[in-house]
Amino acid sequence: MGNFNTTFILLKKNEIAREFLFYFHEKLLKLDISLEKEWGRIIFNDKRNDDEKEPFELKNFKTDEEIIDSLCSWEGLGLLSYKHINIEFPFYINYISWDDTYLQGIEISFKGSAENYTNRDRIKNNVILKIAERVNFQLIVGSMGNSEDDFRANLDLVYNLEYIKDKKFDIDIR
């Protein structure tokens, strides 16, 4: 699967996933970020009780709205594939719920290719931070390849907040 650089955005308040994602999707389109339907998938997060759901191919959906509805129909939410003209490979946004009720955080992950590593500052400034500006966030931390730290969304939020508390990141807005 390869190496991925991940940035975590903790939302300031719990969001109703469907409402948030429809509005957020429109904001992404204005940044020239769109769903990667040709090869992309919805990869569902495990629910807190460890229930799992098989991934869906995005090309099997007719509209973006159907994709968002499918993601929001699963309490654990999950990951969608996106594309942007300045990024060599698709990137991923994982929509996170730690209570199977609300959207509480977002992870943005990029493949750690040589091309993306060379352009990481451009990716950071032109994509990640612009995405972050469109949400009401509490904090943003991300390695962008400069750290061996790996935020694990599937773990408890309290554990993760303690884990990142004293660490430094390439992107660090708290």
DSSP for 100-122, please give it.
SSSEEEEEEEEE--HHHHHTHHH
The total domain count for the chain is: 1
In order of 4, 45, 128, 137, 146, the CA distances from 71 in angstroms are 22, 10, 21, 21, 31
- Quick one: what percent of the chain has pLDDT higher than 90? 60
pLDDT for position 36: 96
Q: Which domain holds residue 124?
A: 4-173
**Position 124 pLDDT exceeds 90:** no
pLDDT for position 145: 56
pLDDT for position 110: 84
Overall average pLDDT of the 6-25 stretch: 96
**Of 79 and 153, the one with more pLDDT:** 79
**Position 112 pLDDT exceeds 80:** no
pLDDT for position 114: 64
- CA separation for the pair 41, 82 (Å, rounded): 10
Per DSSP, helices labelled H in 32-118 are 64-72, 114-118
- The pLDDT confidence band at residue 38, using thresholds 50, 70 and 90, is very high
- The pLDDT confidence band at residue 122, using thresholds 50, 70 and 90, is confident
**Of 74 and 151, the one with more pLDDT:** 74
